[in-house]
Chain A
Amino acid sequence: MATKQTLDIDYTKYNFRDSDESYEYKFPQGLSREIVEKISQIKKEPDWMRQFRLRSYDHFMKRPLPAWGGDLTTLKFDEMLYYASPTEKKSRSWEEVPAYIKDTFDKLGIPEAERKFLGGVGAQYESEVVYHSLRDDLAKKGIIFKDTDTALRENPDIFKKYFATVVPPEDNKFAALNSAVWSGGSFIYVPPGVNVEVPLQAYFRINTQNMGQFERTLIIADENSRLHYIEGCTAPIYSTDSLHSAVVEIIARPGAHVRYTTIQNWSNDVYNLVTKRAYAHSNAIVEWVDGNLGSKLTMKYPSIYLLGPGARGEILSVAFAGKGQHQDAGGKVVHLAPRTTSRITSKSVSKDGGRTTYRGLLHVAKGATEVKSTVRCDALLLDEYSRTDTYPYNEINEDDATTTHEATVGKIGEDQLFYLMSRGLSEQEALSMIVMGFMEPFTKELPMEYAIELNRLIQLEMAGSVG
């Protein structure tokens, strides 16, 4: 029974290119102080933001590339475009989207409106009415949910109070880059005691530039509030941009509960280098649910700083690496206060020579007593060409911390396949079923439509029936 799979969504077929004429101002390739200033000027930003961008730019230029993680040496900063006007980005027409992609969307069962968005066609979202009524409902409760550029204009005080307080530009080279050229992303503020009952989803903002190259998301959940934010989608995101470097900051004030769910499936020439960090104050709960498919290289380690007593952090991350892909993912939890608890669960699947890495940090500071933490990483290798590594770093400075770490590497056995196939499932169906089962601890945390979509995607990837 052959276990070598042909999973290939050949993204190179879908390399869209906008015609250059459609941009109002043509930015040159590469990055300079002038470009950073120009971005700020076009956006009509206040001076402090202009200064912030320039400071970030300076840091980006002098900061070396990280020496660890994936291979970044092929990244060509000089050949990239760092800004394009969001209004002009919508100029591509649905007819230009290749049939292959439309077919993929069919197979995934992606709704029409979303397809246009994913295909890079910023058409009018048919459910705009739904979006507006939702927005009115949120507004009545004092919830702010808008794109980050708009928030900077319309909510300057709260914006300035929290922006870049969790991830300063000096944190790492890519945070600095994002800080210099950021555009788009979501801004959310939930007032004290407010429970946002429906998950807020990024694609409700489909008319705004939501999945930009350097998006910047800032979420503030005030005391005892509750929020679930969902971003992304399992369908491949077709993009000409070869670098995506987002920053996400979450502030969970005392007693707040924030869950942030992302599933991303970048085309496989993309470097996806994301900094995600949350502050959890006393008795707050922060959960990152993070799914990584696609991309050439992903380096992403959602982090939680447990700042106040009783705070809890959960990171649930899955990665799927196919041919030529490296998913370097994991999580970081920093326990800075007593009685804080955390759990990191990582699941990864590698096939066709794909590579997954778990990289995790567990830090327990002096004074953070009675800490409890569990870390579990499970890797599944679908063939002998694929690779997985685990790098757990533990810095425990209090004796009474209870920490556990468990790591497993599994292969799909011939006997398991035989068992499922003897019940009438084809080899691909059997493989898909085993992989879906392996992913189940992640999938069950997703809203149903996302779970179904993810499972469909796994089936498609295992079947190699696309492209």
Chain B
Amino acid sequence: MPEKKRDELVQIDYTPPQRDWMDPAIDFEARKGTWSYPAAAKNLRYLGLPNPRDWSPTDADWQLPENWQQIIHDGLAERLTKFRSLKLFLDVCVRCGACADKCHFYLGSGDPKNMPVLRAELLRSVYRNDFTTAGKILGRVAGARPLTPAILKEWYYYFYQCTECRRCSVFCPYGIDTAEITMLARELLNLVGLNINWVIEPVANCDRTGNHLGIQPHTFKDNIEFLVDELEEVTGIRVDPSIDRKGAELLFVVPSADYFAEPGIYTFMGYLLLLHSLGVDYTLSAYASEGGNFGLFTSNEMMKRLNYKIYHEARRLGVKWILGGECGHMWRVINQYMDTMNGPADFLEAPVSPITGTAFTNAASTKMVHICEFTADLIKHGKLKLDPSRNDHLRVTFHDSCNPARAMGILEEPRYILKSVVNNFFEMPENTIREQTFCCGGGAGLGNDENMEMRLRGGLPRANAVRFVHEKHGVNRLACICAIDRAVLTTLMEYWVPEVDVSGVHELLANALVIEGEKARTTDLRGKPLAGGKGDADA
């Protein structure tokens, strides 16, 4: 927790400073708690990324390569031809300001450079200077700035203070997407060795061991066995997930946090119970043991490199199609990048539910289905016996995670599941859900402890909406379909709305799932007693 108290943190001054934004000045020392530590040299070396060294943003000298300005200039030139999005977004912004108060970091900090328009101007001003006629002739009058070390430091600060949530893009009349600007700005920063460890270490881990957390195969198996035991404890059912089994019908890929720590583990237990109860023929993989992809927060090349494993493993194991767990940015990668990068997946079959026979035509090419799509279809076809009263000790709301909402649009499936498995469901206010949902404040690699003050600030609008339904409806559970959310929102709730816990959708599903041969349930998956001492109401 940061030193600042809640009351102090909400004293937010939105008055812009006197100083012109074009004159950069970031005092990293004074702003501790709002930035992330740089990547450790060993991780950059492992990945073969440029300029590995030990340094701190508080250093005066960031030990950049000698020709860093040229590297960035050339990198930008290359990306302007590779990405129409970048070129267009740098050209067409009219600074109408519609995006300004849409960013959770701006709302939570009042720092004008967190307005999406200004975040982009940090890069745009340099683009104008180097690449536009007006900028070359008129310089500062045309809003152009030559890239200086001070500006580069500002890039580091603000492009690692954007969670790539795309909320601003919803409101922009031209669809300018700050996530795209940030992603490409981070690519440029990576060229000169400016990256954060909380992104790069998971990337290095994932490349080597198969998952962000660096869990090696034997530990992977141990963790899963532990969760199988836990699940048996609560339900009396012993599930038997297989690992690296060739010939299974489905490969099931989940974010690694789901088999590592609370509260994600309960979601994982939920998946296993569901798949077991239906006898689905699936396997987990110790090699492709990560659904998430922190390459998304590094560069398109790194995203492709990490994502490679999923199809590679599906081909090796000879499965028919791939099922994916609840994770936010993972689904941005799967929905918008995977097939393009590592497809075509012509060695797989178009996904069909083995239980209902439903063809998932929307995944006909990528051959990967979201578990909420899979489960919603099961419930619709009456394949699950559910006792929502087992969740009566919970009053639930749903947080749309940024990427599933704004880079995919999976809005109804999780709601349909929730409404089938809980009796008390309440929506947060409409400006804070669905495509207008607010970020948890810790996405895109910013969910680390040294960045805590900024996380709590960025998460304030989300926490506010949760507090609203907590006070109005007594909500005590925040459901979501994102592993980063489950970790970050838990901390956020502890700070802003301590009465509310966080969970995945499939945890709540498993609470309600009635299975033949199970013991009378007296607790939920977390071991918390059920409401009114009831357990097996109509089982």
Are A and B bound to each other?
no
